[in-house]
Amino acid sequence: MNLDLVLLRFINSFAHRSSSFDASVSFLADLPLLKGALLTSILWLVWFQPYRNQETRRELVISTLAATITSLVLAKVIRSLLPFRLRPIHDAATGFTRPYYVSSETLWNWSSFPSDTAAMVFALAVGLLIIYGRWGWLAILYSLVVVGIPRIYLGYHYPSDVAAGAVLGGLFAYIMSRDEIRTPLSRPLLSLSQCYPGAFYCAFFVLTYEIATVFENTRQIIAVVSKLFR
């Protein structure tokens, strides 16, 4: 038995014992406020908090957001290119025990590998790790406990799906934080924030809101538009 299945079955061994606990995990995993909004709100704090190196920190905020979007899109591209992988909740061969209140129809048409949610959240977390140093490890721990493990527990993903998404997001956050990428990427946006602060912060808010919700509204708009063109 491979490690992926061992970890899945261990985490799943606690499922379907308490309806209250299962409901709490489901609520935790699907709540945008906890899934992404808390981490993006910390980026707002970084942006406005006065520091001697405030411009560098703002550059890191921009590179982190760019890495988040890039890793999310790339995770979806990888998912579409790789063979379809059933999620644990749909794969009878895993012996998965479905928690209370989790529908067997959940995410039925979506491949499991890699986790785009993990890619997004860990890109944010690694960005905060780069900004805050050792305190940023709290963001990593938060992403694992609040986002990663609950999605395994509910059968949305295998541990390897979450791990691959986390590596993808963390890697892009690190790469895009390098001076040779971060500085040319952020300079036009920093200039825009000074010349047109109203327009910039309106767009900044919408962007962080969409990231917090894993671009749910954007995906719905794209789906409707694609249906109209068909």
Each residue's pLDDT tens digit, 35-83: 788 899 999 999 998 888 888 999 999 999 999 999 989 998 998 898 8
Q: What is the pLDDT of residue 84?
A: 87
Each residue's pLDDT tens digit, 139-193: 999 999 998 999 999 888 899 999 999 999 999 999 999 999 999 999 999 999 9
Q: What is the pLDDT of residue 107?
A: 67
Q: What is the pLDDT of residue 58?
A: 93
Burial of 88 (0-12, 13-18, 19+ CB in 10 A): buried
- Reply yes or no on whether the pLDDT at 219 is more than 80: no
Which whole-number Å values give the CA distances from 172 to 69, 71, 75, 119, 216, in the listed order? 10, 7, 11, 9, 22
Each residue's pLDDT tens digit, 20-31: 888 888 888 878
CATH fold group of domain 3-229: Vanadium-containing Chloroperoxidase; domain 1 (1.20.144)
Each residue's pLDDT tens digit, 95-110: 788 888 877 766 667 8
